[in-house]
Every structure is written in structure tokens, then in C-alpha cells.
Amino acid sequence: MPIAVAIVEDDPRIRESLTVLLRGVDGFRCVGSHASAEEALRAIPAEKPDVVLMDINLPHMSGIDCVAQLKAKLPAIQVLMLTVYDDSDMIFRALTEGASGYIIKRTAPDKLLEAIREAHTGGSPMSPHIARKVVQYFHQRGPARHETESLTDREREVLEQLAKGYLYKEIADALGIGVETVRRHLSNIYGKLHVHTRTEAVLKHLQDHPAAR
């Protein structure tokens, strides 16, 4: 069963060469190619591709906005961003909007085909240079200080609720305890973390738990 691929790319030459590439290789099927985000949004739901190759720089609506709308309609679809830009902001925006991978355009054909295969099997292919930008995001936020290590399990639960923005009353209800107890826990937590305000405690929590929200 070949992988159904749709292309969204405004440059006719690139669009053509991608189509030809996909037609000429076993295991792939090109089910559509579109010159604009608007056209893609109209046609793709009917084409039911497994993977979409999406240029970022499209005439009216950007590829990023197109991903957002496409994923809203078809959550299961895998979108690979295909671009010449390696701007960090673009990368993060595309990823948060639901893109599965991010490939730079001058990637060799065999690598591109491999990327499509990987995206289809649940992977997230990224050009090494792009991946580095993503990794730098984690480097930049600095190592976890593990300051929340000294907290007890219960205290960690309280802190987690606190980091969601709940009031003491709401935390108490969520954990099935009294507000006074929440206040007591927080007091102890603040002491251990060497902070004096709610926001500081939340920031320390977020630093120690990158994945949490």
C-alpha cells in the first residue's frame, strides 16, 4: 500500500519536480498538488493523503496557517514543512501548529523520500540543522535545577495545581483537603524553594518540568 502524498507549493517548477519524483518511485502515490493554501484546504480533505508536503512561503495564506487549519479538519494527517528558511520563530510556530517534521528544500531526493516514510510511520524527520535549532531551545532554557527534589510527594501535587493557576480554594477541592492545609503546604514549599511568591514558585516548577505545560 503506497503512501498517499499531497503537495502544497507555489513554485511550479518545484511542484512539478516533486510530483515527478513521487510518481517515479515505488511505494509513493501523489494524490494532489496545489499552488496555494486556499486551494489545498479545499481539495485535500477529498484527496485523503497520508502525508502533506507543505511549503512555508505561500502567496496569501502562509503555510503555517494552512497547517493549523488542516490539522483542525484532519487531525490524523502528517504534515512535513518544506522550506528554505531555518528561522527559529518559523520552526517553533510550525511545530506548535501541528507540523510533524521540518525539512529544508535542498535535501537530496532519497532523503526526502525517507523523510516521508518516517513521517508516515509516526516519526518526526527534521533536517539536522533544523533539529539543532530545536535542541538549542532546550539548551537555552538551561539545565533543570532539580530544586523541587526536596519536596514531598504531596507538596509536589500542590505545586502542580498551583502552576495551573488555581486558587487555594480550587486546589483544596481538587486534592480533597482544606484550604488551610494548602496554605501550610505552600508555606513549606516556599521555604524549600527559597521563594516568597506564588509566581516564583511556579517558574521554578516549570524550569524543573519542561514537559509540564
Partner DNA sequence: TTTTCAATCCCACAAATGTGGGAGAGGTTG
Partner DNA sequence: CAACCTCTCCCACATTTGTGGGATTGAAAA
Interface with DNA (CB under 7 A) = 152-155, 167-169, 172, 175, 177-178, 180-181, 183-187, 190, 196-199, 201
| Residue closer to DNA, measured from CB, 89 or 153 | 153
DSSP 142: -
Distance CA 3, CA 213 (A): 33
**Three-state DSSP string of 62-121:** CHHHHHHHHHHHCCCCEEEEEECCCCHHHHHHHHHCCCCEEEECCCCHHHHHHHHHHHHC
Distance CA 85, CA 204 (A): 34
Contact range with a second copy by CB under 8 A, out of 14-22, 30-38, 84-92, 147-155: 84-92
Q: Which of DNA, a second copy, none has residue 185 at its interface (CB below 5 to 8 Å by kind)?
A: DNA
When asked if residue 211 is in the footprint of a second copy (CB under 8 A), the reply is yes
CB of 213 vs DNA, minimal distance in Å? 18
Coil, strand or helix at 27: coil
| Residue closer to a second copy, measured from CB, 23 or 164 | 164
Site string for a second copy, 133-172 (x = CB under 8 A): -xx-xxxxxxxx-----------------xxxx-x-----
Q: Which residues contact 85 (CB under 8 A, 6 or more apart)?
A: 56, 57
CB of 10 vs a second copy, minimal distance in Å? 23
Torsional sign, CA 32, 87, 143, 158: negative
Under 8 Å between Cβ of 44 and 32: yes
Q: Which positions touch a second copy (CB under 8 A)? A: 68, 88-89, 92-93, 95-101, 118, 121-129, 131-132, 134-135, 137-144, 162-165, 167, 195, 197-200, 202-203, 206, 210-211, 213
